[in-house]
Structure 1
């Protein structure tokens, strides 16, 4: 067993275990940032934040301690050993910083009401050349979690045509800062576009119980709620709303288009 192993390997395994513990602690703090701020529920499901974060962190957490296992040797001069471990830590922190930057660029920044649906917009989808056209009072790329916005009515037929052509080229209406307005301004349009949940249950009778369960968790009954479809990065979801205020009450992974 370990007590009979050469001191050489005991030292290496101990150093690697300490490094692993520190790496897991740092990963936990990174996870709190990612899932508590950038990808709160349901965005971690809609936008794939969980998979991206786990890929980045698992590689970082595993490789650091493995490299320490390979390079740690008490027979080395203290200065050389300190240098080797410092290089490992710096490489690991650099990789983690790059991974978190990648995750941040893919983070959801807004849920936007888009004529007859909601769309989750991610930082990487917002055209940089339009950022200076963001309306006053709206933060284009918030760092403290996604916000609710809406697409304003078109000012002219030409603007509508230009937006349609841009959408065909891959820039959705909801990702254009020049078309954003506050969600409060769009409440009447949201309420008008929303549909009764009873209609949704008729369309998906096998999902009726799940719908009721989701709404019960929000303290509501189907008769007092409306819905709209939601376009996410990975799949289509459904958003449940108050029929008077357009307040979002709940979401569920159901393609209601």
Structure 2
């Protein structure tokens, strides 16, 4: 059981580094998987273990319990895999965290060669390219209305470095947040202080997650992502 939970814990930290575990609901998923594994492990073992059983019966019951636990571990790892965040994508005027299950599989063949569609080494930073024409814009808009976000479409991805000018064009001075959210001034300043910055020399954009909205702080010259915080800055 400890081996199983240790495996899940290692994968969780690898695939769900901070802040993605918070933005994508990874913490709740991890708790659910580990809880199920615990119930199917030692608790069921205690329930079926009985010294009055014959060695054959006991061996059979413990084998079934072990198989159930392995099946639960496999399902848990599969769930963690398909729900893992794979990209943080700049999408026109915001960032959006894309999970593996969000990616349109029918468009995977159109992923740019410079982009890894479903990385296993943790989330990467990407951007949505400009539309080729009005027809593509209309098709993408209709797809978005049906729940397929632009950020989850491999055919629209491009390296983040190519979008620096677009990112900085949409980004806003972080100092504006101090006026918009007076109750969060101390928290904002503390978050930026940890990366050696002040609100006066940082810009920001909103970040859309599966369950919440965050804020991404960026360098005003390079558009480098500096840090994030759980603040709805839309």
Same fold at TM > 0.5: yes
Gapped runs of 5+ residues in structure 2? none
What displacement does 1:55 show?
0.9
Q: Say which of 211, 217, 221 aligns to 1:240.
A: 217
Alignment of 1:14-163 (within 5 A): 23-34=1-12, 36-163=13-140
Q: Residue 159 of structure 2 aligns with which residue?
A: 182
Deviates more, 1:78-87 or 1:89-98: 78-87
Measure, in 2, the Cα distance between the counterparts of 1:156 and 1:202.
39
More helix by share: 1
SS in 1 for 2:228: strand
Per-residue Cα deviation, 1:168-213 (whole angstroms, up to 9, x for no partner): 0100000000000000111111111111011121111111111100
Alignment of 1:5-20 (within 5 A): none
Give the equivalent residue in structure 1 for 2:150: 173
TM-score between both structures, scaled by the size of structure 1: 0.88
Asked if the contact 1:151/1:180 (under 8 Å) is kept, the reply is: yes
CA distance in 2 between counterparts of 1:171 and 1:159 reads 14
Distance 1:220 1:32 in 2: 32
How many correspondences in the alignment?
Answer: 234
CA deviation string 1:114-161 (max 9, x = no partner): 011000011111111111111102111111111000000111011111
Contact 1:226/1:240, CA 8 A, preserved across alignment: yes
d(CA) in 2 for partners of 1:139 and 1:42?
A: 21
Structure 2 residue 198 is matched with structure 1 residue 221:
yes
8 Å contact kept, 1:24–1:61: no
Unaligned runs of 5+ residues in structure 1 are 1-22
CA distance in 1, matches of 2:105, 2:7: 30
Alpha-carbon deviation of 1:63? Answer: 2.8
Who wins on radius of gyration, i.e. which is larger?
1
The answer to whether the Cα contact below 8 Å between 2:16 and 2:84 also exists between their aligned partners in 1 is yes
Of 210, 213, 221, which aligns to 2:187? 210
In the alignment, the residues of structure 2 paired with residue 90 and residue 105 of structure 1 have an alpha-carbon distance, to the nearest angstrom, of: 23
For residues 72-124 of structure 1, the C-alpha deviation after alignment (integer angstroms, 9 at most, x for no partner) is: 23343434322321211111110111022112111111000001100001111
